[in-house]
Amino acid sequence: MGTFFSEPGWLCLTVTALLGGTILCKLKTSPGQVGRKVVCLVGLWGGAYLISLSLFWGLVLFSLLYFVMYTYFSGQELLPVDQKAVLITGLWAVINNAGVLGLPTDGELIPMTEYKRCMAVNFFGAVEVTKEFLPLLRKSKGRLVNISSMAGGVPMQKMAAYGSSKAALIMFSSILRQELSKWGVKVSVIQPGGFKTNISGTSQMWEKLERTVLDNLSPEVQEDYGQDYILSERSFLRLMKTSSDPDISPVLLDVRHAISAQSPFAFYAPGKLSYPWLCFASFSPTGIFDYLSRKIHTYSKKMPRVLSTSNWEDKAM
């Protein structure tokens, strides 16, 4: 108590408040990101912790912390956009946004045509556009922004074709980020969570995709899964429509930051659950992640026909 209410303690507390105020002011001029918020909190927590140190070392560490934090946030200020062009698919900056979802269903049921279609649009399309405009980006030391998905970093049931294509886009972007750094080109990946867009398609599109799935299955696979199970996968698309966030402003803010900040991030994860899920999928034990994934994917009580029979396990043995 004596240290806290001493003159050095009050001085350090004042410096902490000034540091926090300055950092918060810088934060307001730049779109919010989880990483920046964490850095800010760590800085404030570190300042409070330093109160217990001696005045001399406290001020030295305060000064160092202030310099690091100020430099960090200065890099997040937005650059002027005059005389700069942006190309959005779907030259200072290229944003690859085009994407298709297909019919979410078990990976065994997805026709090869759908795997190829997802890769063609979500991955090869972005690669082709990127290669076409890289000479201009290199000359202007511009920005490349690829819109991937949380599904590209988080294994999600029913998303084998879509998630694989988005994962390929993330790896492609990560490699280009390293290769293009010597040219002054900055590469960012946006991995949004669930936002309401037109990617899920219409009822007419669902019917066509369902027919495509059924027409491409062997009699054995159709018998094992059952037509009722396959047609019940529509419930996943309905869930996507009802649970997705209609406010896409977090994605737009991240795109804006990626193309105009002095020091854009390599990865962005807009959406309420995108960042936690990406971290959880990356660092949690596989068994725990798979268990929670099974619990979450209970939107439909339907099971493949053969699994719903009481004597299936006996037959398997």
- 98-137 tens-digit pLDDT: 888 877 889 999 999 999 999 999 999 999 999 999 999 9
Task: Give tens-digit pLDDT for 161-198.
Answer: 999 999 999 999 999 999 999 999 999 999 998 887 77
Q: Looking at residue 34, what is its pLDDT?
A: 45
Within 10 A of 158 (CB to CB), how many other CB atoms are there?
Answer: 22
Q: Looking at residue 131, what is its pLDDT?
A: 95
**Residues 162, 225, 229, 275: which is the catalytic one?**
162
> Distance between the two ends of the chain, CA-based, in angstroms?
70
Alpha helices (runs of H) in 141-243, residue ranges in sequence order: 160-180, 203-215, 219-225, 227-231, 234-243
DSSP 124: I
In our burial notation (b when 16+ CB lie closer than 10 A, e otherwise), range 135-149 reads: eebeebebbbbbbbb
Residue 162 annotated in active site: yes
Q: Looking at residue 68, what is its pLDDT?
A: 62
Q: Looking at residue 311, what is its pLDDT?
A: 63
DSSP 181: G
Q: Looking at residue 25, what is its pLDDT?
A: 62
Q: What is d(CA 240, CA 102) in angstroms, rounded to the nearest whole number?
A: 13
Burial of 87 by CB count in 10 Å (0-12 exposed, 13-18 middle, 19+ buried)? middle
Q: What are 178's two structure tokens?
A: 């390293």
**pLDDT lower than 70: segments of the chain:** 1-90, 92, 200-201, 298-301, 310-317
Q: What is the CATH number of domain 86-245+276-303?
A: 3.40.50.720
Q: Looking at residue 4, what is its pLDDT?
A: 47
Within 10 A of 187 (CB to CB), how many other CB atoms are there?
Answer: 24
The structural domains of the chain, with segments of one domain joined by +, span: 7-74, 86-245+276-303
Handedness of CA 81, 166, 266, 183 (dihedral sign): negative
Helices 34-49 and 7-28 pack at an angle, to 10 degrees, of 170
Instruction: Read off the pTM.
Output: 0.73
Q: Looking at residue 124, what is its pLDDT?
A: 96
